[in-house]
């Protein structure tokens, strides 16, 4: 019993404040969000309330906790490579944001709230700008798990087709375990800062699909169809991160390659 769960909701500021007061944490990793880009076009206000204002609620609770206890609680804020949107790759901490979805707009707002609270109140807040990071625990409606799950089902004869959206988009896909180490490292530094976390290598959705079907000895072209339902009204064409700052300041480097992923 070293892990204790508490009910909370980013829409419930009083509840967040109570959890923080009761647990008196040393570090907070704020990963909560409505994080699906396509869903954010269907539920934009909910996404803003959770991802942007939800972050503000948590920062307000953090500010009061630090004031009340005199303790410097370290706070990690999960930004997103989606904030770069249409900005030309490779993207680093100096690249302007150009968000292309309600999700990304909300994440940009949360990022600037976090910067403002760091500067205004001297709080230890680090912003991670993580590029796509994947693992077996990724939600099944995100590309990587949607594809790998379908490959397994097709190989077992349980499914005939896989319907996808835009195959031309390029993403910088890394392994979530590597990226979580980077989050932790950010909170172990003397000073808080903002960091891009990425592999520096990008691949198209098509390449990902080809590799995943290839693992099972299948030709993806026989199984994959496109369905406009999965096309986003505004797409992010090409994300490729430059994690030089994380390399030099955190000594961080990804360990799992695209092919291994
Ligand atoms: P995102 O990069 O945060 O939006 O992560 P996703 O895993 O949801 O999407 C990665 C890329 O795959 C995006 O460019 C999507 O447009 C593209 N994509 C193509 N077909 C699909 C699909 O059927 N589902 C999802 N989730 N993404 C798709």
- Tell me the pLDDT tens digit for each residue of 172-215: 999 999 999 999 999 999 999 999 999 999 999 999 999 999 99
Cis peptide before 95 (omega within 30 of 0): no
Nearest residue (by CA) to ligand 1, atom 14, is: 169
pLDDT, residue 226, reads: 97
Report CA(72)–ligand 1 centroid distance (Å). Answer: 38
For ligand 1, say whether the CB of 37 is within 6 Å of any of its atoms.
yes
For ligand 1, pick from 100, 133, 143, 147 the residue to mutate: most ligand atoms within 8 Å of CB.
143
pLDDT per residue over 21-30, tens digit each?
999 999 999 9
Nearest CA-CA partner of 147 in 102, 207, 85: 207
Q: Which helix (H) or strand (E) holds 109?
A: helix 102-121
34, 150, 170, 204 from 208: Cα distances, Å: 24, 13, 10, 6
pLDDT, residue 76, reads: 99
Which atom of ligand 1 is found nearest the CA of 82? Answer: 3
Nearest CA-CA partner of 229 in 33, 34, 41: 41
pTM of the prediction? 0.97
Nearest CA-CA partner of 100 in 233, 211, 6, 210: 233
pLDDT per residue over 42-93, tens digit each?
999 999 999 999 999 999 999 999 999 999 999 999 999 999 999 999 999 9
The runs of H, that is alpha helices, within 123-173 are 143-155
Residue 175 annotated among the catalytic residues of the structure: no
Does 225 score more than 90 pLDDT?
A: yes
Q: Are 61 and 53 in contact (CB under 8 A)?
A: no
Nearest residue (by CA) to ligand 1, atom 5, is: 142
For ligand 1, pick from 89, 130, 146, 165 the residue to mutate: most ligand atoms within 8 Å of CB.
165
Does 1 score more than 90 pLDDT?
A: no
């Amino acid at each position: 019993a070293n892990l204790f769960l508490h009910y909370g909701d980013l829409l419930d500021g009083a509840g967040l404040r109570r959890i923080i007061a009761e647990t008196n944490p040393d570090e907070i990793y704020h990963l909560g969000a409505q994080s699906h880009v396509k869903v954010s076009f269907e539920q934009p206000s909910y996404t803003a309330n959770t991802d942007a204002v939800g972050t503000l609620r948590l920062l307000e609770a953090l500010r009061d906790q630090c004031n009340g206890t005199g303790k410097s609680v370290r706070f990690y804020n999960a930004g997103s490579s989606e904030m770069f949107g249409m900005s030309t790759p490779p993207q680093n901490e100096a690249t302007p944001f150009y968000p292309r979805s309600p999700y990304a707009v909300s994440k940009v707002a949360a990022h600037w709230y976090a910067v403002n609270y760091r500067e205004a109140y001297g709080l230890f807040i680090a912003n991670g700008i993580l590029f796509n990071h994947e693992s077996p625990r990724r939600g099944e409606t995100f590309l990587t798990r949607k594809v790998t799950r379908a490959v397994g089902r097709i190989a077992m004869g349980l499914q005939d087709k896989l319907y996808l959206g835009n195959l031309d988009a390029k993403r910088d896909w890394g392994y979530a375990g590597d990226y979580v180490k980077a989050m932790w490292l950010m909170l172990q530094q003397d000073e808080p800062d903002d960091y891009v976390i990425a592999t520096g290598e990008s691949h198209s959705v098509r390449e990902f699909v080809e590799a995943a079907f290839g693992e099972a000895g299948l030709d993806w072209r026989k199984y994959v169809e496109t369905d406009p339902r999965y096309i986003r009204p505004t797409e992010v064409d090409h994300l490729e991160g430059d994690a030089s700052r994380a390399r030099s300041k955190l000594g961080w480097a990804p360990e799992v390659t695209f092919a291994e992923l």
